[in-house]
Amino acid sequence: MPSLPRLCLMLVTEPSPRLPEIVAEAVAGGVDIVQWRDKNAAPEAIFDAAWGVREVTRQRSLLVVNGWPLYSPSLVRKIGADGVHLPGNSPHSAEGVRRAIAGGLVGRSVHSLASAQQAQEEGADYLIAGTIFASQSHPEVEPAGLGFLRQVCAAVSVPVLAIGGVTPKNAGECLAAGAAGAAVLSPIMRAANPCGAARAYRQALDAAWKEIAPQPPILGEPEERR
């Protein structure tokens, strides 16, 4: 079964005639998991749209298919996706989805501490928590803030990605709160240079991780200095 990178940058897609091109550029810039999402796609158009993304991510990035409002296990398998991402209001459990698609990553969006704990109990491999900061894609949503992110990360043992208003400047604050990375939509999807936008996030996450992650002791270093 595929596993989430230790430090993760997820691109959440939106419909675009240039979608495969944008995704390819974002992956080149450092995106390591793509969540294909199109809430208004006609059932007959889903395969072609998601397949175009699978083609440019194959052996370069993980691909999960958003399961809103319903998902088709056979379609997920046909696309060759690495898993399914469940919206917070999905009636499906992660474990049930995993069985239906014969293995793979299953994540879920969460907007409360209780829903995060329940998602973990139901077998989610990772969570996306938000909205953390004010967001371009959901300006009407009141940000939950870093305190909420910190609570969720402390309450569960699965990786948590921060979403909503995350920028290269505040990405480090999300890692400091316990997040394992960030999920980003508009700042990369709508960027004039998706590769450059993704690279800015990747560099910010990598730099913050170096500051936060415990460093192994230097071989031969005196014990009292460790």
Report yes or no on 1 lying in a domain.
no
Average pLDDT over residues 190-210: 98
- pLDDT tens digit string along 103-112? 899 999 999 9
The pLDDT value given to residue 210? 93
Name, in order, each residue with C-beta under 8 angstroms of 1's C-beta and a sequence gap of 6 or more: 103, 104, 105
Report yes or no on 2 lying in a domain.
no
Q: What is the CATH number for 196?
A: 3.20.20.70
Report yes or no on 85 lying in a domain.
yes
The pLDDT value given to residue 215? 62
Instruction: Give the pair of three-digit tokens for residue 115.
Output: 């829903």
Write out the residue range of the structural domain in which residue 67 sits. 8-225
Question: Of 114, 64, 71, nearest to 91 (Cα)?
Answer: 71
Report yes or no on 3 lying in a domain.
no
- pLDDT tens digit string along 6-39? 999 999 999 999 999 999 999 999 999 999 999 8
CA distance 181 to 6: 8
**Count of structural domains within the chain:** 1
- pLDDT tens digit string along 32-82? 999 999 988 877 788 888 999 999 999 999 999 998 656 688 889 999 999
The pLDDT value given to residue 219? 59
Lowest mean pLDDT among 88-102, 161-175, 204-218: 204-218
Report yes or no on 208 lying in a domain.
yes
